[in-house]
Structure 1
Amino acid sequence: MFEGDNTVLVIGAHPDDEVLGAGGTIAKHANSGDDVHILIVTEGTTHQYGDTELIEEKKKQAKLCADTLGASTVHFGDLPDMKLDQIPHVEVNSVIEGVCCEVNPDIVYTHSRREVNLDHLAVHESTVVATRPGSGVSTVLTYETPSSTDFATDIDGFNPTLFTEIEEYLDVKTDAFNCYETEVREYPHPRSTESIRSIAKARGAASGCRAAEAFDILRAYR
C-alpha cells in the first residue's frame, strides 16, 4: 500500500476527523511518495456552535494539519455541520464523487459505519456509493474516530482487519492534531494528545508493534 505510486484520498466529515482516524497513515503514505488528498465534507462549525467566523479559521487549521502530515491538497465540501442526515443523500454523494473524479484515487479512507455521529454515518454511506465497482478505486478502508466510534454500542462493533505501523509517525500525528487548537481537549478525553498516543500504543500491542492505526477493509480489488 505504500509503494509511492498511489493516489490516496482521506475523507472526513469534519475538520480533525482525518488526522484522528488516519493521521499516521497519511504521513506514512506521503513519506513513501504517494500523492495524498484530504476531503472535509462539512464546514465543521456553524450549526454546532453558531459562529460563522470559525469557518475560515477551521480551514486554515485543516490546511496546516495537512501540511504537517505531508498531504498535497485539502478539499472542502462546505455542507452543513451536524445536518448531513437531514439533506438529500445525493448531495453528499455529489461532493464525494466530485472530488473522486478530480483526484482519481487508488486508495480511499473514510469513516466506519460504527458511529454515534450521524454526519460520520452519512459520509460512510456516500463514500460507499462514490467508490462502487467501476469507480477506479482499488481499495476502500474505514477508520475509527475517537469520541465517536468508541462510544457506539452496536453489537457488530468496529472490527479492524488491517493495522498500519506508525511508530515513526506518531509525533507527526500528534503535532498535526494540535493544529486544531479549537478541538484539542484535556486528558482523559479521547481527543487529547495523551489519548491519541494511548490508542496508537494499544493498536500497536494488538498487532505486534509499538504504535499502529487500525482499519477495516471495506473493499479491495487486486
Structure 2
Amino acid sequence: MGDLNYMGKVLVIAPHPDDEILGCGGTMARLAKSGAEVVVAIVTRGMAPQFSDEFVANIRAEAKISHALVGVSETLYLDLPAAALETVPAMKLNGTLAKLVQDVRPDTMFVPFVGDIHTDHQLTFLAAMVAARPRDIHAPRRIYAYETLSETNWYAPGITPAFVPNIFIDITETLELKLDAFRCFESQVKAFPDERSIEAIRALATMRGASMYLKAAEAFMLIRQIDS
C-alpha cells in the first residue's frame, strides 16, 4: 500500500463516539501509522435525564482507549446535546463547527453522510459543510463522507440520498486494528447479526475491498476536492 500523505492534517467529525471508528477507523490507523496528524471531534454528549453522567464518562473512557489504539492525535468534545441536535439553533451549531474547523485547520475532513437515518448525522453533515466553505486559503482541500453501519443504509434509499461510494481506501493492514478499536466501545458492541457486531464490520470491509479487488477497504463519497 502507498501512503496517504497527500491528505495532510485530518479532521474526523463524528456525531457520537464510535461513529468515527465505524466509518473510517482503518483509514485513521493508516494515516497515524504514516505520521499524519489525525484529530477527532465528537459533536454531541448525552444529557440528563436521558443519559447519566456515569454513562457519558464510561463511553468517553472507551473512546480514549479506542483512539489511542488507532493513533488519534487529539480528541475534541463539542458537547452539543445527543439525539437532540434539532433543538440547537442553526446559528449555534454552524458556529460551533466553524470554530472547530478554524481552530484545527484541516487539509482533509471526514464527515457523516447526509442520508444517514439519524438526524444528528444529517445536521452534523450540513453544519460541517457550512464550516468548510472555501472562503479563504485555509479551507479543507478534501471532504469525504463515510458510511456508518446501522445509520447509512437504514433510511429510505431511492427516496432519501443514497450512499454511492467513489473512493475506496485499502485497510487490509489495519482492519484488525479497526476491529480492536471498536471492541473498546464495550457498551456499543452488539452480537451478530446486529450491524454493530464485529462480524458485520468485518463483512462490510471485506465486501468494500472485494469490489475493488482488495482484501479489505473503507468506502467514501468524495464531496469536494480542490486541486491547485
Are the structure 2 counterparts of residues 4 and 115 from structure 1 closer, same or farther at C-alpha, using a change threshold of 3 Å? Answer: closer
1:142 paired to 2:142: no
C-alpha contact 2:7 2:107 (8 A) present in aligned 1: no
Distance 2:204 2:157 in 1: 20
Partners of 1:48 and 1:81 within 8 A in 2: no
Whole-Å Cα distance in 2 between the matches of residues 48 and 38 of structure 1?
26
Percent of aligned pairs sharing the same letter: 34
Amino acid at match of 2:176: D
* Aligned alpha-carbon RMSD (Å): 1.5
Unaligned runs of 5+ in 1: none
Work out whether residues 4 and 32 of structure 1, in 8 Å CA contact, stay in contact via their aligned partners in 2: no
What's the CA shift for 1:100? Answer: 1.4
Q: What amino acid is aligned across from residue 65 of structure 2 in structure 1?
A: L
Normalised by the size of structure 1, how large is the TM-score? Answer: 0.95
Work out which of the residue numbers 164, 167, 170 in structure 2 matches 1:159.
Answer: 164
TM-score, normalising length from structure 2? 0.93
Match of 1:56 in 2: 57
Opposite residue 140 of structure 1, the aligned amino acid is: I
> C-alpha distance in 1, partners of 2:193/2:35?
35
2-11 vs 208-217, greater mean Cα deviation: 2-11
Distance across 1 between alignment mates of 2:6 and 2:64: 22
Give the distance between the partners of 2:27 and 2:166, measured in 1 at CA.
15
- Structure 2: segments with no counterpart, 5+ residues: none
Between the aligned partners of 2:33 and 2:50, the Cα distance in structure 1 is 36
What are the superposed Cα offsets for residues 64-87 of structure 1, whole Å, 9 maximum, x if unpaired? 111111010000011111000121
- Return the match for 1:7 from 2, 6, 9: 9
- Equivalent residue of 2:82, what SS? coil
Q: Which runs of 4+ in 1 moved over 4 A?
A: none
CA contact (8 A) 1:20 1:196 kept: yes
The residue number in structure 1 matching 2:81 is 80
Whole-angstrom distance in 2 between the partners of 1:60 and 1:91:
27
The CA deviation string for residues 156-207 of structure 1, in whole angstroms up to 9 with x for no partner, is 4101010000010001001111111110000111111111000000100111
